[in-house]
């Protein structure tokens, strides 16, 4: 899986696709990273609209943004660095955290655009424990449970994942209460 193989694959998909394509970098799940230099090369294809980078590595953003065309979008996939990424030139994000608390993720971006950086920073820091639980420690079952608690249809996770145990449920509930999204 060399950079040349990855480039060839994305160029072929982009050539054949009737809709714009996003490059997806999620090395923690795929075992390989789409390097910034590869993303820059891919950005020159007119049907590759952007990249979703879930690596959590801010240096990917700082290397990519200066080298891509102006309409190429760098989307963060790591909620823990959302505000930092916006400050460094990211266009936005596709965040697991936003599955559970979309309005709060949008609020970070709105505050950023309005120049209310202290408020955006506070909200980013307030969301950090929930983001960690949803993406690192408890995972998809926690996202599903949070959705159920918030009145959406989260449901059970698909096998082989198991629903949260009582300890995990208590943790998610506590984090949502702390954010003022649920009553204690």
Give CA–CA dist 39/48, Å, rounded: 10
**Cα distances (Å, whole numbers) of residue 119 to 57, 111, 112, 116:** 24, 7, 9, 6
Mean pLDDT, the chain, as a whole number? 97
Tokens of 61: 């953003």
Q: What is the CB neighbour count within 10 angstroms for residue 49?
A: 17
Q: What does the pLDDT average to over 25-54? A: 96
**pLDDT of 23 over the 90 cut:** yes
Contact 82, 108 (CB under 8 A): yes
- Across residues 83-91, what is the average pLDDT? 97
Local confidence band at 131 (pLDDT 50, 70, 90 cut-offs): very high
Is there a cis peptide before residue 123, judged by omega within 30 degrees of 0?
no
Q: How many CA atoms lie within 13 A of 108 on its CB side?
A: 28
Residue 120: which pLDDT band, with cuts at 50, 70 and 90?
A: very high
Average pLDDT over residues 126-130: 98
What positions carry a catalytic annotation?
A: 52
Which neighbouring-strand residues pair with 20? none
Average pLDDT of the residues in 68-92:
97
The string of DSSP letters for 131-148 reads: HHIIIIIS-HHHHHHHHH
Are 55 and 85 spatial neighbours (Cβ–Cβ below 8 Å)? no
How does pLDDT run across 48-59, given as a tens digit for each residue?
999 999 999 999
Residue 184: what pLDDT? 86
Is there a contact between 56 and 80 (Cβ–Cβ < 8 Å)? Answer: yes
Predicted local distance difference test score (pLDDT) of residue 1: 83
Written as six digits, the tokens of 88 are 């460094």
Region 143-171: mean pLDDT is 96
pLDDT tens for 64-76 read 999 999 999 999 9
For residues 5-31, give the mean pLDDT. Answer: 96
């Amino acid at each position: 899986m060399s950079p040349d193989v990855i480039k060839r694959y994305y160029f072929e998909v982009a050539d054949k696709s009737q809709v714009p394509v996003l490059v997806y970098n999620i090395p923690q799940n795929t075992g390989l990273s789409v390097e910034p230099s590869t993303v820059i090369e891919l950005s020159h294809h007119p049907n590759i609209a952007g990249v979703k980078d879930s690596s959590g590595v801010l240096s990917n953003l700082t290397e990519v943004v200066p080298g891509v065309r102006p309409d190429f979008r760098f989307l963060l996939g790591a909620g823990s660095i959302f505000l930092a990424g916006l400050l460094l030139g990211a266009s936005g994000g596709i965040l697991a955290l936003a599955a559970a608390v979309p309005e709060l993720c949008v609020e970070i971006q709105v505050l950023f655009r309005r120049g209310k950086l202290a408020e955006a920073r506070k909200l980013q820091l307030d969301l950090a424990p929930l983001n960690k639980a949803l993406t690192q420690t408890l995972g998809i079952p926690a996202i599903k449970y949070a959705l159920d608690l918030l009145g959406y249809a989260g449901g059970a996770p698909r096998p082989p994942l198991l629903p949260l145990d009582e300890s995990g449920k208590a943790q998610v509930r506590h984090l949502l209460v702390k954010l003022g999204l649920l009553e204690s």
